[in-house]
Amino acid sequence: MKVEIATQLASLIEMSIDDVVKLIEVPKNTEHGELAFPCFVLSKILKKNPVQIAKDLSDKISANNFITVPVGPYINFKANRQVLVKDVISEFLADTDKFGSSDFGQGKTIVVDFSSPNIAKPLAFHHIRSTMIGNSLVKMHRNAGYNVVGINHLGDWGTQFGYIIAAFKDCDEEQINNLNLKEIIDAYVGMNKAAKEDSSVEDMARSCFLDLESGHNKARLIWQKCRDLSLAEFERVYRRLGVSFDSNIGEAFFEDKLENLIKQVENAGITNISDGALIVDLEDYGITTPCLLRKSDGATLYATRDLAAACYRYETYKFDKAFYVTDSGQSLHFKQFFSVLDKMQLPFAKNMYHAPFGVLLVWDETTKEWTKGRTRSGQIVLLEDILDEATKRAMDIIQDKRPDLANKSQVAEQIGIGAVVFNDLKHRRIKDVKFSFEDAINFEGETGPYLQYSAARAASVVRKYGKEIKLPENFNALISDSSFEIIKKVSTLPEVSLRACSEGEPYIIANFCLELAALFNSFYAKVHILDNVDVDSLILIPEMVSKALSKGLSMLGVAVPEQM
């Protein structure tokens, strides 16, 4: 429709089709039709009133799939609703499950580095950000046809393991095998405390970490046990969140590859020694602080490991794009690390993307301000505690509103977690997330449960209809303002999800779901579908809405209960 309009317009005025296409816009107000052309630019060229120009041009354009209406200085184009509705529904019915998916990314691979917690610590509430944003990036790209590799780059190496190993170095093999995670975490905390009072503890930890690095048997055993236990613990939470990874290769894996990496950078001739440290100067990239590859004491750093991991991933997956989902405080690190790759003239350097996000703030009722995920006593807020509380609150509401519902506890889990997850994804990544149970577990308005409810409600109508849904013989019942708006909105899902992919922004999908749900609920209040004479065609509304919402929510990693 756009191209057709542009072609006709271009032949009437002194402009190329491309230029006309650029000027054509989608009006904000739906009453203005599907597309519009502003005539302001022309008034300068033609030296005529834009209102007059709009009238003149509008008379000269004609087609059967839209009508033209001059409104002031604009020419508005209103689609032939019958034609548009038929197109959308035919496409929808051709493959209901695939609607909203695409093969845009066919043959392309992207890797997403996300979640990446440190082991030997529980998952804290703030981990939900990287985990769910990354999970959503994975899901939306898969939906767009990409081959996606989700990587949990575990923090499973570092001097902190010295403390843990020191705590258990006198245990025998059997005792080590019987350790549980709580004992390890307690020991770690205890050793840290002890080190503050007694510097010899720190020395011991350092020597234990050296044992680990040199491959000492028992140190290795303790480390492995700690890793296994932590991962099992993480997996339990990930399962609740519906998150999975294709690789759990962490930092430790790259330890023996760092020397090679450093050689590779040195061979590129871009390294310097500065104050005893091995650096890559990045002044020519407009970055005033250099990237450190090796400290003056010989130890490697974060950037060294990330460089090694990036090279390894490229060799392994030959990715076309790599996302790193971390908080925005690490922006400089990624700028440096990507610039080093570029300076090394590696082919994938231009395909590296940092997807930064704002911090998670928790409302502190006693101080009346937003705090960084710690309680008054300085304790971190555990992710599982939040999920449990959310589930409990969901259950209370179910008991109150749907006492007869089947699988209550399962639905409560889906709703409670859905609320927390959606709350995390509904705004642009860069915004700080301000978390309060009152907002997040509020089930009204722009929330996860509102969307789950809308989807369940739509699905319920379809279930009660109970017959096969076929392409209607005519579309008269579907071209009223309210149903036409819904069909138009549903039809934008493919472009919406592609935009979400290219910007790496889950909130774009979240917004789509909210807008669609609002349109549907409004329609639902006005039109009684099952009693309508046109039920056989109207049933397509809840059918399309429930499918589109399910697809959208699944891209966000929010579960969709069949009934609630």
Interacting residues with RNA between 85 and 144 (CB under 7 A): 118
Stretch that binds RNA, among 30-38, 201-209, 233-241, 470-478 (CB under 7 A): 30-38
- Which of 58, 68, 76, 248 binds RNA (CB under 7 A)? It is 76
User: Which CB, 161 or 475, lies closer to RNA?
Assistant: 161
CB 341 within 8 A of CB 333: no
The Cα diameter of the chain in Å comes to: 93
Q: How many CB atoms within 10 Å of residue 2?
A: 13
- State which of residues 30, 244, 260, 296 lies at the interface with RNA (CB under 7 A): 296
The minimum distance between CB 107 and RNA, in angstroms, equals: 26
| Residues from 267 through 286 that contact RNA (CB under 7 A) | 274-277, 279
Scanning residues 509 to 538, which ones bind RNA (CB under 7 A)? 511, 514, 517-518, 521-522, 524-531
Among 224, 431, 474, 476, binds RNA (CB under 7 A): 431
Q: In sequence order, which residues have a C-beta less than 8 Å from that of residue 31 and are 6 or more positions away?
A: none
**Near RNA by CB under 7 A: residue from 74, 163, 317, 324:** 74
Residue 249: half-sphere exposure toward Cβ, Cα within 13 Å = 18
Which C-beta is closer to RNA: that of 135 or that of 304? 304
Residue whose token pair is 């000269």: 60
CB nearer to RNA: give 110 or 510. 510
Contact with RNA (CB under 7 A): which of 167, 292, 386, 556? 292
Sequence-separated contacts (24+) of 49-54 with Cβ below 8 Å: none
**Which one of 99, 168, 450, 475 is in contact with RNA (CB under 7 A)?**
450
Shortest Å, Cβ 98 to RNA = 24
480 contacts RNA (rule: CB under 7 A):
no
Q: What number of other Cβ atoms are within 10 A of residue 182's Cβ? A: 11
- When asked if residue 40 is in the footprint of RNA (CB under 7 A), the reply is yes
User: Considering the complex, what minimum distance in angstroms separates the CB of residue 108 from RNA?
Assistant: 22
Q: Which segment (28-36, 379-387, 466-474, 483-491) binds RNA by CB under 7 A?
A: 28-36
Q: For residues 165 and 208, is the Cβ–Cβ distance under 8 A?
A: yes
**Beta carbons within 8 Å of 50's beta carbon, 6+ residues apart:** 38, 39, 40, 42, 43, 72, 73
Q: Which stretch binds RNA (CB under 7 A): 8-16, 67-75, 124-132, 470-478?
A: 67-75
The distance of closest approach from Cβ of residue 275 to RNA in the complex, given in angstroms and rounded to an integer, is: 3
If 0-12 CB within 10 Å is exposed, 13-18 middle and 19+ buried, where does residue 220 land? middle
Query: In this structure, are residues 15 and 44 in contact, taking their beta carbons and an 8 Å threshold?
Result: no
Please report whether residue 289 would count as binding RNA according to CB under 7 A: yes
Backbone angles phi, psi at 347, to 5 degrees: -65, -25
Identity of residue 252 = A
Cα torsion 236, 241, 245, 251: sign: negative
CB of 371 to RNA, least distance (A): 11
Whichever of 331 and 379 has its CB closer to RNA, that residue is 331
> Which of 20, 52, 49, 16 is closest to 37 using CA atoms?
20
Q: How far is the CB of 92 from RNA (least distance, A)?
A: 20
Question: Judged by CB under 7 A, does residue 212 bind RNA?
Answer: no
Nearer to RNA, 104 or 302 (CB): 302
Q: Is 427 in the site for RNA (CB under 7 A)?
A: yes
Toward RNA, which CB reaches closer, 14 or 170? 14
Among 439, 485, 534, 536, binds RNA (CB under 7 A): 439
Nearer to RNA, 176 or 484 (CB): 484
d(CA 189, CA 380): 13
Instruction: Quote the least distance from Cβ 310 to RNA, whole Å.
Output: 14
Q: Give the residue among 429, 443, 444 at the shortest CA–CA distance from 510.
A: 429
SS3 readout for 270-311: CEEEECCEEEECCHHHCCCCCEEEECCCCCECHHHHHHHHHH
Per CB under 7 A, the list member of 255, 432, 534, 536 interacting with RNA is 432
In the complex, minimum distance from the CB of residue 171 to RNA, in angstroms, rounded to a whole number: 27
Rounded Cα–Cα distance for residues 32 and 288 (Å)? 51
Judged by CB under 7 A, how many residues of this single chain contact RNA? 92
Q: CA-to-CA distance for 46 and 6, rounded, in angstroms?
A: 18
Q: Give the interface segment with RNA, choosing from 6-14, 224-232, 237-245, 430-438 (CB under 7 A).
A: 430-438
Structure tokens at 342: 């570029």
Rounded least distance, CB 109 to RNA, Å: 25
* Residue 65 in the binding site for RNA (CB under 7 A): no
Task: Check residue 415 for interaction with RNA (CB under 7 A).
Answer: yes
Please, how many CA atoms are within 13 Å of residue 202, restricted to the half-sphere of its CB?
6
- What is the nearest approach in angstroms of RNA to the Cβ of residue 443? 4
Looking at beta carbons only, is 179 or 498 nearer to RNA?
498
Which residues 378-397 are close enough to bind RNA by CB under 7 A?
394, 397
Question: Which is closer to RNA, CB of 172 or CB of 531?
Answer: 531
Q: Are 161 and 251 in contact (CB under 8 A)?
A: no
Three-state DSSP at 167 gives helix
> Which two structure tokens, joined as six digits, stand for 421?
């997850």
39 contacts 75 by C-beta, under 8 angstroms: yes
Sheet hosting strand 352-357, strand order edge to edge: 147-151, 109-113, 321-327, 352-357
